[in-house]
Structure 1
Amino acid sequence: MTKKVVEIQEKAEPAYMLRNLAAKDVFPMVKIISKIGINEFMNAFEAEEIKKLVSAISTDDEAKEEDSGEKDGMTVIGISVALNIANTLLGHLGDCEQEIYAFLCGLSGKSKEELMEMPMNTFLEMVVDVFKKEEFRGFIGVVSRLVK
């Protein structure tokens, strides 16, 4: 008689959960942006690769893209802007440390102490996950229109 051994992997709970962004999150985000400096923050929208992507999408009259193609292009632009913002934020992490902790505490329901004790990679993943949120991209879209 042969016994089958079945290995059961327990699903580990995620280290954090982020709620959806809401209107109340605008205020801590504005505090963070003001600590970084609005001009430096806006440079994320002015990067040369962003200008090229926008130009390529908006001037492509000959080969009219289908809606999905246009959405794909806008997604690429949104991701590029989000990465530029993440880069800017990481460069100023020390300048707005308390504001970032407060913002992430509100999104995750964790205490500042819990965030401070997180492994570095988990904490940075949390920051990046905020930038990946659909609501954040919407916020950035509105901000970028205001700057134009």
Structure 2
Amino acid sequence: MENIKLEMRKLSGQDLFPMMKILAKVKVKDMILDFIKKRAEVAKKSQEALSVEDSEGTKEYTEEEKMEIGMELFADILNTTMCNLDLAKEDINLLLSSVCTVDVKDIRELGMLEYTNLVMEFFSKEELVDFFKCIASSNVFQSLR
């Protein structure tokens, strides 16, 4: 597979299932729970300094804050995932082969640079960024007041 540029298809809803399996294996769950706890503590400490309030006096996140939360979560997940990739190597290879529509053998045979570039390209896909923006604007984060 040397010198072959792999093209990734657009991510679909079905890609969510192997992604969640990978995130579980690379120990992202604990990091997300810590992130939620940290956000709750920060929100609680800054309750008096709220800039935007709804009729109940609780914080509503602005679009910029939602974007910042989503990007911070994405960066933390990316870092945690990269540090623990070996724990989900086969699942990652299967997901990459699916997204690139090639045999998993072709993914396994990639050189280090090509494989690294492919992983980084996957994490920079717009659909993945949108997924984390969606998480940031979900009720879980809205309840952190």
TM-score tier by shorter-chain length is: 0.5 to 0.7
**Matched-pair contact (CA < 8 Å) for 2:71–2:132:** no
Q: Deviations over 1:25-75 (max 9, x none)?
A: 0110111112123433416956x8xxx9xx9xxx778xxxxxxxx878866
Match of 1:89?
81
Q: Aligned pair 1:105/2:91, yes or no?
A: no
Give 5+ residue unaligned stretches, structure 1: 1-12, 62-69
1:128 corresponds to 2:120 = yes
Structure 2 partner of 1:23: 13
Structure 1, residues 111-147: CA drift from partner, whole Å, max 9, x if none?
Answer: 1211111111211111111111111011122334364
TM-score, with structure 2 as normaliser: 0.64
SS at match of 2:87: coil
**Gapped regions of structure 2 (runs ≥ 5):** 53-61
Aligned-pair CA distance for 1:77: 5.8
Superposed CA RMSD in Å reads 3.2
Identity level (%): 24
How far is the alpha carbon of 1:93 from its aligned partner?
A: 1.0
For residues 1-148 of structure 1, the aligned pairs below 5 Å read 15-42=5-32, 45=35, 78-144=70-136, 145=138, 147-148=140-141
Which protein is bigger by CA-based radius of gyration? Answer: 1
Write the distance in 2 (CA, Å) between the matches of 1:147 and 1:74.
12
Q: How many residue pairs align between the two structures?
A: 122
Structure 2: how far apart are the matches of 1:87 and 1:32? 14
In 2, are the aligned partners of 1:44 and 1:85 still within 8 Å (CA)? no
